[in-house]
Structure 1
Amino acid sequence: MQRRPPLLINTEAIEAWPAGLLRARSNLDARLLARAHWVLRRKRDGRYLAAVLVHGVHAMVPRLAREPGVEEALSLLHAPLARPFAATLEEQWLALAGLQQRLQQLGLDPQRYADDSGLPLEPEPCLLHLAGHDRFGRPLWLRRGAAQGWRRMRVHAAREGVALDAISGFRSHAYQLGIFERKRARGLSVADILKVNAAPGFSEHHSGHALDIGTPGDAPAEESFEATDAFAWLQAHAGEHGFQLSYPRDNPHGIVYEPWHWCWKPANG
């Protein structure tokens, strides 16, 4: 029987990762990860919070019970339908209310930003599928259709002598908010940060449908990608696999030209 790819269970504050995909950061981590099925990981900064073992939960931080979202994440892991292939989670998305509140705390009006940029708020999926690994060896998480499309497209390109690799895929609201918080702590204003980082919640990467694509030997996420055989191949064939270039030159969102950023568009929308 064919083994299905691992899943990432996503909640507002915490991600539940298959333990075998995480890197140990200490000898204690290594011992726990070797025995664990899942690891709870704080989305804002990637901190490992707890290892879920056969016979219970082992805290990896002090005062685990005070961590926001721990009970929710554990309840999903313990629910029979959420383990391991939760059809009930496949079409669910996280609520946006918490994100909007945190944007306002940053001094950002979500509606005004949406009007100015023409970009919609992007909810996060509750379930993501492993689509392989990116150029840096990190697990690449995407929605199921995008993951399948990426794998097929990469094989198609390889058969025609073109090498594609992924630079990044899914990124959470919390991760993006963490970037803003760290930069503000260094003294940057929100206006300055927005010159180089999209407002949290408005990136296609949050949807699990978008990925940044590169080719070996070319710098990641640079306009030079436009001159590669890989980009020419994508222009000719990406649409066959459901992918579209999101930010061409002079796009209506005011986003800089990104020849590396491609988004899978579901057939029904």
Structure 2
Amino acid sequence: MRHLPPLPHKSFLLNTPDIELWPAGLLRARSNADARTLSRAWRVLRRKHDGRYLAALLPEGMLPLVPRLSHESGIEAAWDALDRLDAVRGFAIDDAGQLPLDRLQERLHALDVPEEYGKRTGLPLVPEPAALAFAGLDRYRRPLWLTAGAARAWEAMRQTASADDVVLEAISGYRSHDYQLGIFERKLGRGQTVEQILTVNAAPGFSEHHSGNALDIGAPGEPPAEESFEATRAFAWLTRRAGQFGFAMSYPRDNPHGIVYEPWHWCYQPRMVQEIPD
């Protein structure tokens, strides 16, 4: 296995079922008050389902940003995550573990997603990581979050491609269960049925993006998530070299899951790292 460099940034995101704990410097201010708060905070609690900032951790203590913070769903789990962080020196992000799936399963049942969906598609339920590493910015200048291993492999692969005069752009990485649940709920609200939605969207919890190991990759000047990506030098390079860094294309043509061909979607599989030929 090739040597991988350190993570490109020391920041990481603590993840809980309802709340994310972000490094304040990676969040965008939405008002002048936000800007003043973020400039002094070291971490911010962010509600997952709508992105609302709930509290900021300042040098002098915690500043609530919503009324009745103590009544927020999942706030105790967020405090527990901070307590675990305070209890250790040098957070071991590789050993952070995964979040339980029971909350997701309850919401899938409430949405009437067929229980046989996983068996029908061959897709497993994918838990979210309990912590994610900052892996740079994506094409749209948004923070890119991946597992620590995937972040190191992505940086090594991107730098190696650049040395070969090939530019790899990250389009998106980790997505929460709430992100996919939001898509479903909005479409249901517009009158679509669950079966109609499942023809174009994976059921929440069944996307590799939830794992923090999957990346949608693009090339400069190319539209995101289009089959035309297969005609780029970036795709040709990935086809030859991505396996050396543990990345594989998840959904080739005629894949057994019935998912459309996605030449842009690559997933880090650490056990699949290939040796570099002499």
| Shorter-chain TM band | over 0.9
Alignment partner, residue 165 of structure 1: 169
Alignment partner, residue 77 of structure 1: 82
The answer as to whether partners of 2:93 and 2:131 remain within 8 angstroms in 1 is no
Aligned length: 267
Change over 3 Å in CA distance of 1:34–1:83 after alignment to 2: farther
Query: How far did 1:195 drift?
Result: 2.0
Aligned ranges 1:119-134 → 2 under 5 Å: 119-134=123-138
Q: Which stretch of the first structure deviates more once superposed, 63-72 or 201-210?
A: 63-72
* Distance in 2 (alpha carbons) for counterparts of 1:27 and 1:70: 26
Helix, strand or coil: the match of 1:258? Answer: coil
Q: Among residues 79, 90, 96, which one is paired with 2:95 in the alignment?
A: 90
Q: Deviations over 1:121-180 (max 9, x none)?
A: 101110110111100000000001100010000001000110000000000111111121
Change over 3 Å in CA distance of 1:205–1:54 after alignment to 2: same
Q: Which amino acid aligns with 1:20?
A: G
The answer as to whether partners of 1:19 and 1:36 remain within 8 angstroms in 2 is yes
The answer as to whether partners of 2:216 and 2:266 remain within 8 angstroms in 1 is yes
Query: How far did 1:91 drift?
Result: 3.9
* Distance in 1 (alpha carbons) for counterparts of 2:178 and 2:137: 21
- Unpaired stretches in structure 2, ≥5 consecutive residues: 1-6, 274-278
Whether 2:236 is the aligned partner of 1:232: answer: yes
- Unpaired stretches in structure 1, ≥5 consecutive residues: none
Helix, strand or coil: the match of 1:267? Answer: helix
Whether 2:105 is the aligned partner of 1:118: answer: no
* Distance in 2 (alpha carbons) for counterparts of 1:141 and 1:88: 12
Alignment partner, residue 63 of structure 1: 68
Aligned Cα root-mean-square deviation (Å):
1.9
Alignment partner, residue 37 of structure 2: 32
Q: Which amino acid aligns with 1:205?
A: H
Query: How far did 1:95 drift?
Result: 0.6
Structure 1 residue ranges (4+ consecutive) displaced by more than 6 angstroms after TM superposition: none
TM-score of the two chains, using structure 1 as the length reference: 0.94
Whether 2:186 is the aligned partner of 1:174: answer: no
**Higher relative contact order, chain-length normalized (CA < 8 Å, sep 6+):** 2
Whether 2:143 is the aligned partner of 1:139: answer: yes
Whether 2:213 is the aligned partner of 1:213: answer: no
Whether 2:110 is the aligned partner of 1:105: answer: yes
TM-score of the two chains, using structure 2 as the length reference: 0.91
Helix, strand or coil: the match of 1:79? Answer: helix
Q: Which amino acid aligns with 1:166?
A: A
Change over 3 Å in CA distance of 1:187–1:8 after alignment to 2: same
Query: How far did 1:62 drift?
Result: 2.2
